[in-house]
Amino acid sequence: MSLGRLEVNNKLERLNLLFIMVNNESKNMKKIRDAHSVELWQHLHWLSVLAQQGSYTAAAARLGVSKAAMSQRIAELERIARVMLVQRTTRSVRLTEAGQRLVDDTRASFDQIEHSFAQVRDLADVPSGLLRITAPVAFARQQLVPRLAGFLQTYPDVRLELDMSDRLSALAMEGFDLAIRHTVRPPDTHVAWTLCETHSVLVASKAYLKHAGVPQHPDDLQHHSCLHYMRPHESPAWTFERSQKNKHKKEQVTVPVKGQLAANNSEALRDAALADLGIALLPNFSVQLNRDDKKLVQVLPAWRPVGAFAEQLFAIRPYSPHVPRAVTALVNYLKSSFANGF
């Protein structure tokens, strides 16, 4: 082979290599353009959910994806933006100034998209879609879950996710559509429907009362094992009132109490009373079945407990101009189901 032909071949190889490099760069740029035109909105949506939830784990659960997928998507967005958007720590994440600006500037658009899609979805004749609801543990186990089967059978296109927690959730921030709450007053920033009236009741097992004696006055409770509901920064005390002959006057008594067991769950206190451990003050939804079975009996029936638990049960949702049809259907179903109380 001549030297001249070798030089020509080298030039051709260099040109071919240059063409490959340019072609690869073109493909990379096309990927970036595709990400901007197709995937960018999804990337930004995931970033907004991450900002709401405060952690990759919570955001992934909210979106129904893996934590690894969540992390990868945010990393892709940072590569496209060419700036760090998230500051990561071992327990939580915090947006950088650039990340927060992206979330703030796109939030209104995502809200409008969600609102428009909800309206379109509700054009269907029947309620459908996913509803995320939260309710207190004891109430959900004893009263709500047994009623949900009928609702889901009536509306087979609706899916429910039930979070059972006694913690007061930030509904909009945590993505809940509805909360069931035993409260004195719903927050003014939310819409609330009253489901039913409730009251508190003092109960004990027959075996305990046979052993320890039957109280005749609230003051007698100081000599009994009282199973009380724990509340932060509150000394355990129960308040009772009794109507006098003059209906406008009421006798009120507050009694400090103590016992072998305290808990922040009414179902646990009910079970302790069933185990003959003492006298429990409970919301009526926790003891109705057992009182009907005569396993627990009412103590001090002439005295009405006050202030221990709220006296109304509400369905609560964050305010929005549009209420999904599935939410309306569930609220109406619960109002009908709880119309006669417990």
Please give the distance of CA 160 from its chain centroid, rounded to a whole number: 12
Q: Is the pLDDT of residue 5 over 90?
A: no
Task: Give the integer Cα–Cα distance in Å for 212 and 224.
Answer: 7
pLDDT tens profile 38-53: 467 778 888 888 887 8
Q: Is the pLDDT of residue 70 over 90?
A: no
Domains of the chain, first to last: 3-120 (1.10.10.10), 122-198+311-337 (3.40.190.10), 200-306 (3.40.190.290)
- State the Cα torsion 102-108-110-113 to the nearest 10°: -150
pLDDT band at 303 (very low <50, low <70, confident <90, very high): very high
Averaged pLDDT for residues 70-91? 82
Kindly tell me the number of DSSP H helices and DSSP E strands found in the chain: 12, 15
Phi, psi of 140 (to 5 degrees): -60, -45
Bridge-based pairing of strands 190-197 and 312-318 is antiparallel
CB distance 278 to 224 below 8 Å: yes
Q: The tokens 């939260």 sit on which residue?
A: 134
Q: Is the pLDDT of residue 182 over 80?
A: yes
Task: Give the integer Cα–Cα distance in Å for 340 and 163.
Answer: 25
pLDDT band at 108 (very low <50, low <70, confident <90, very high): confident
pLDDT band at 74 (very low <50, low <70, confident <90, very high): confident
Q: Which burial class, exposed, middle or buried, applies to 241 when counting CB atoms under 10 A from its CB (0-12, 13-18, 19+)?
A: middle
Q: Is the pLDDT of residue 83 over 80?
A: yes
Task: Give the integer Cα–Cα distance in Å for 23 and 215.
Answer: 90
3-class SS shares of the chain: helix, strand, coil, % to 5: 50, 25, 30
Structure tokens belonging to residue 24: 């690869």
CA-closest candidate to residue 135, choices 320, 273, 334, 337: 334
Q: Is the pLDDT of residue 35 over 50?
A: no
State if pTM tops 0.85: no
pLDDT band at 22 (very low <50, low <70, confident <90, very high): very low
Q: Which residue has the higher pLDDT, 8 or 58?
A: 58
